[in-house]
């Protein structure tokens, strides 16, 4: 006798509750609904396409095992978007969304501080890989249950890796499901400027009302800009507390984790870590190809840009998602101006500034992962000091710059933790490492000769 679907699903849920951590259970298992059980095929409805992909990749084995246990026989488990959800209006980046909802204004009129959400930044357009899957899962869970699972959600990573995309995807999902919820998306620099202006104009009560009383979902980009701004940090602290205590969802992004922001008050660092801290890293080759294919699909370029050209771009452009997409735009313009079809040769011409001399030959050979000893040896030789000097506690001027460069390369190339870097350079603390890395990054941006010297040292690290 076949067990009724409702009873079978109750058993599956009971077993899953015992096996799966509570937060994962609420985010992924509890949100699934049984649709049908026919011909040894269990169909489960989930909220959206993102949840379909996630469950197929991460939870299919779990559901199959639990279903077999409950039913006493093997069954196939299939995930599909719940029919009721499909009838709801979807965000499509080709169609401009209704203005009141796009800015998350809700029913009370637009918040003067709110910036509009980018209509392309939805979960459907986000490509998941190893470098961002934790952040993507956390963002999706927050969108499903704002203010209940991860509050705040703190996403960090380098520029152009998808932090803002994930943050705004939450905003789009929440406003689509609950148009009356008020979403406030701002950059930290805007918050700083509004605090300064409100102090000068004596309108702080109005600012506090906008940020504390008229918000259900608070999205703040680039909170690292709050470092060193004492008055603004004080205001942000009280705004954070008010929203948190009211169970309003807070999502923050930064280029580094809270503990690596020495200019941030300890009480803010502590609060930023209350919920979930998730990082997004640089995509690997397969992930970069998937990102480019998504761009190809979105812009209907399947017949314009061959797959082998996408592979070529992915192989030689490593930095971030934004640069990958920029390469597509540049390649299209280059081909249009020269009236030529897009090929690998054309891509090599168009993107010559993205491919460093010798990089093509270098990528043909497998790269050996450099070590911290090699970083110190290469930098010491190129800057005329000794590796022992870099590792020493000495603070003489001739050692300062090369030591900072070696710390920068250890962070950027070896992806070492700040504490590990500090230990490798005479037991220095993490704030010294942060200062060194930041100083080199700023110098690279404004000094071409310095940038070329550092880049040359980076290339030597991979030499046999």
| CA 149/CA 24 separation, integer angstroms | 9
pLDDT of res. 94? 30
What are the b/e assignments for 244-266, b being 16+ CB within 10 Å?
beeebbbbbbbbbbbebbeebbe
pLDDT of res. 235? 92
**Residue numbers of the chain with a pLDDT score lower than 50:** 86-107, 357-358, 361-364
**φ, ψ for residue 178 (rounded to 5)?**
-135, 80
Q: Partners of 220 in the beta sheet?
A: 186, 252
pLDDT of res. 218? 94
pTM over 0.75: no
pLDDT of res. 93? 29
pLDDT of res. 294? 85
Sign of CA dihedral 99, 104, 105, 106: positive
pLDDT of res. 95? 31
Write out pLDDT tens, residues 379-416: 999 999 999 999 998 888 889 999 999 999 998 888 78
Look at residues 322, 382, 316 and name the one whose alpha carbon lies nearest to residue 351. 316
Sign of CA dihedral 420, 421, 427, 431: negative
pLDDT of res. 216? 92
Write out pLDDT tens, residues 425-456: 988 887 788 888 888 988 888 888 898 899 88
């Amino acid at each position: 006798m076949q067990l009724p679907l409702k009873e079978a699903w109750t058993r599956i849920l009971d077993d899953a509750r015992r096996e799966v951590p509570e937060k994962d259970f609420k985010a992924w298992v509890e949100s699934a609904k049984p649709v049908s059980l026919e011909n040894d095929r269990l169909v489960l409805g989930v909220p959206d396409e993102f949840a379909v992909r996630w469950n197929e990749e991460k939870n299919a084995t779990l559901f199959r095992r639990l279903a077999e246990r409950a039913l006493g026989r093997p069954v196939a488990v299939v995930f599909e978007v719940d029919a009721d959800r499909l009838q709801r209006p979807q965000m499509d980046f080709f169609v401009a969304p209704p203005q009141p909802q796009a800015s998350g204004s809700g029913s009370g009129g637009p918040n003067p501080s709110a910036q509009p959400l980018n209509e392309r930044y939805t979960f459907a357009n986000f490509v998941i890989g190893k470098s961002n899957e934790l952040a993507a899962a956390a963002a999706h869970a927050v969108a499903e249950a704002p203010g209940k699972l991860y509050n705040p959600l703190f996403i960090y990573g380098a520029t152009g890796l998808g932090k803002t995309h994930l943050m705004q995807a939450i905003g789009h999902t929440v406003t689509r499901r609950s148009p009356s919820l008020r979403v406030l998306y701002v950059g930290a620099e805007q918050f700083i400027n509004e605090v300064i202006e409100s102090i000068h104009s004596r309108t702080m009560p109005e600012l506090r009302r906008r940020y504390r009383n008229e918000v259900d979902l608070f999205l703040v980009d680039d909170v690292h800009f709050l470092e060193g701004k004492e008055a603004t940090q004080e205001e942000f602290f009280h705004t954070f507390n008010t929203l948190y205590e009211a169970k309003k969802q807070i999502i923050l992004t930064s280029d580094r984790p809270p503990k690596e922001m020495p200019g941030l008050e300890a009480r803010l660092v502590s609060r930023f870590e209350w919920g979930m801290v998730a990082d997004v890293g640089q995509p690997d080759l397969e992930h970069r190809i998937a990102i480019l294919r998504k761009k190809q699909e979105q812009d209907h370029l399947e017949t314009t840009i061959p797959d082998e050209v996408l592979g070529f771009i992915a192989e030689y452009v490593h930095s971030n998602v934004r640069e990958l997409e920029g390469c597509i735009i540049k390649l299209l313009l280059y081909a249009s101006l020269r009236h030529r079809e897009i090929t690998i040769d054309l891509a090599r011409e168009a993107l010559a500034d993205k491919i460093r001399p010798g990089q093509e030959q270098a990528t043909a050979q497998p790269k050996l992962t450099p070590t911290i000893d090699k970083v110190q040896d290469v930098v010491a030789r190129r800057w005329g000091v000794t590796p022992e000097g870099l590792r020493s506690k000495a603070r003489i001027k001739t050692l300062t710059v090369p030591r900072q460069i070696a710390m920068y390369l250890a962070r950027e190339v070896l992806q070492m933790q700040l504490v590990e870097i500090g230990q490798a350079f005479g037991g220095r603390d993490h704030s010294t490492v942060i200062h060194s890395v930041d100083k080199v990054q700023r110098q690279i941006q404004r000094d071409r000769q310095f940038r070329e010297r550092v880049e040359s040292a980076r290339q030597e690290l991979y030499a046999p």
